[in-house]
Amino acid sequence: MKKEYVLEPKEAFNMFRVPSNLEDLVNVLISGIMSDTKKKQDHFIKLAEVLSEDLNQYEIKYAQFKTVQILNFIRVKNGLEPMDIMETLKDA
């Protein structure tokens, strides 16, 4: 069985040049997406809303873009198809 590829947050932030003011939001978005229960997802959504209160729309969209970019990198490393970034962000 192939070992699942894991990317540590700091490694991902450096690799994808995530601005430091967006690191917490990106981390929460990734955690929410990867959560295995609706309760955990809801928790991370509320936390993301709090973290995004002081950000403008551009910063929020950029954090979403970086989140999808990082998740796609991990998906490809694990042999999965990447998500369509524009389609994923269209409804966000």
| CA 5 and chain centroid, separation | 16
pLDDT of residue 90: 65
Enter the pTM of the model: 0.84
Break the chain into its structural domains and give their ranges. 22-90
Q: Return the percentage of the chain with pLDDT > 70, whole number.
A: 89
- Per residue in 35-86, pLDDT tens? 999 999 999 999 999 999 999 999 999 999 999 999 999 888 888 888 887 6
- Per residue in 2-30, pLDDT tens? 677 778 888 999 999 999 999 999 999 99
Give dist(CA 28, CA 58) in Å, integer. 18
